[in-house]
Amino acid sequence: RTCDQLRCTACDFRVSLFNDYIWDQSCDYLFFRNNMPEFSKLRAKMIKKKGARAYACQCSWRSVDELTDLQTDQQLRWFCGKH
């Protein structure tokens, strides 16, 4: 079960998600700060990977390729905006 309305309490930005992509290892804070949420700009550091999902706000990002509970990641400050 995934929430499609994640929001970050650190940067107060909506978390974007991209199916079938992961983030390149060279991604950094400034890349997301300057390019969110423009897919055309973000795509420069995205890698196609079927079945994976790339998540990002302006201050945090994750690539997920297996079932993962993002709430257990202490560094993420994301919550579901539906609740």
Give the pLDDT confidence of 6-57 residue by residue, as tens digits. Answer: 899 999 999 999 999 999 999 999 999 999 999 999 999 999 999 999 999 9
Compute the distance between CA of residue 68 and CA of residue 19 in angstroms, rounded to an integer.
Answer: 15
**Cβ count near 11 (within 10 Å):** 16
Tell me whether residue 50 is in a domain. yes
> pTM of the entire structure?
0.86
Tell me whether residue 1 is in a domain. yes
- pLDDT for residue 71 is more than 80: no
Range of the domain at 43: 1-59
Tell me whether residue 80 is in a domain. no
Tell me whether residue 78 is in a domain. no
Which pairing describes strands 16-23 and 78-80: parallel, antiparallel, or unpaired?
Answer: unpaired
User: Can you give the pLDDT at residue 7?
Assistant: 92
Q: Helix, strand or coil for residue 44?
A: helix
Domains in the chain, number? 1
Tell me whether residue 64 is in a domain. no
Compute the distance between CA of residue 23 and CA of residue 72 in angstroms, rounded to an integer.
Answer: 20
User: Can you give the pLDDT at residue 51?
Assistant: 94
User: Can you give the pLDDT at residue 70?
Assistant: 66
